Amino acid sequence: MRLKLRPVLHAVLMAIALDMLTPCAALADQLPVPAAGLPGFVAGMKEVPDPGLDYRVLFELKAPQAAAGPDARLLDIARYVNSLAEYGVPPIRRHLVVLVYGAAVPLLLSSASGHSNPNAALIRRMQTAGVQFRVCGQALLARHLTQAQLLPGVQMDLWAISTLANLQLQGYAHIEE
């Protein structure tokens, strides 16, 4: 009897293991930014998000968007948000800021600026997940743009240098593109 159950038990355990490794649509819908997904699983990984830490992270974007469609850098940041959630970091411990200046300013422009923005929906979803978007006021001045031309919810700061200094002095980890 024992020999007959072993193959069945093995098959059931393999099915459960494969099911746990296979991403499902229901899980993706529970992520803060579902369209971005999660980073790939790496066997033997050591450093993962810690739900006991307070994540203060400043992402700096200054180069222009490299390709058409949603910006790859924004998708990476969205996947990071999702990974924090996946590993149990509660929203109250996620303090993420995306600072945009220089040639990257068009990432944050609304259709009121005269062009369509392929990043608008992704940014809106990231904002809903608690990510702050800030833009350098000096970069807007240099391009003759106004705050009214930005996507809703984007904060305009005096300039990127002040934001970078202030947030780092407040303990934010600085991630450059």
Within-domain flag for 30: no
Sheet holding 55-61, edge to edge: 155-157, 132-136, 94-100, 55-61, 173-176
Which contacts (CB < 8 Å, 24+ apart) does range 161-164 have?
163/58, 163/97, 163/99, 163/134, 163/136, 164/58, 164/60, 164/99
pLDDT tens for residues 94-132? 999 999 999 999 999 998 777 789 999 999 999 999 999
Q: Is the CB of residue 92 less than 8 Å from the CB of residue 54?
A: no
Q: Which structural domain range is residue 111 located in?
A: 51-176
Within-domain flag for 136: yes
Within-domain flag for 44: no
Write down the pLDDT at residue 28: 52
pLDDT tens for residues 68-98? 889 999 999 999 999 999 999 999 999 999 9
Write down the pLDDT at residue 21: 43
Q: Is 97 helix (H, G, I), strand (E, B) or coil?
A: strand
Other beta carbons less than 10 A from residue 35's beta carbon: 13
What average pLDDT does the segment 4-26 reach?
45
The residue with greater pLDDT, 108 or 20, is 108
Within-domain flag for 38: no
The residue with greater pLDDT, 124 or 26, is 124
What share of the chain has pLDDT > 70, as a percent?
A: 84
pLDDT tens for residues 125-136? 999 999 999 999
Within-domain flag for 157: yes
Within-domain flag for 146: yes
Question: Under 8 Å CB-to-CB from 156, ≥6 apart: which residues?
Answer: 134, 135, 137, 140, 147, 150
pLDDT tens for residues 32-50? 999 999 998 889 989 999 9
Strand partners, 97: 58, 132
Within-domain flag for 56: yes
d(CA 136, CA 159): 4
What average pLDDT does the segment 9-24 reach?
44
Count up the domains in the chain and report the number: 1
Indicate if the pLDDT at residue 15 is higher than 50. Answer: no
Q: At which residue do the structure tokens 């469609």 appear?
A: 69
CATH number of the domain within which 70 lies: 3.40.1260.10
d(CA 135, CA 154): 7
Q: What is the mean pLDDT of the chain?
A: 87
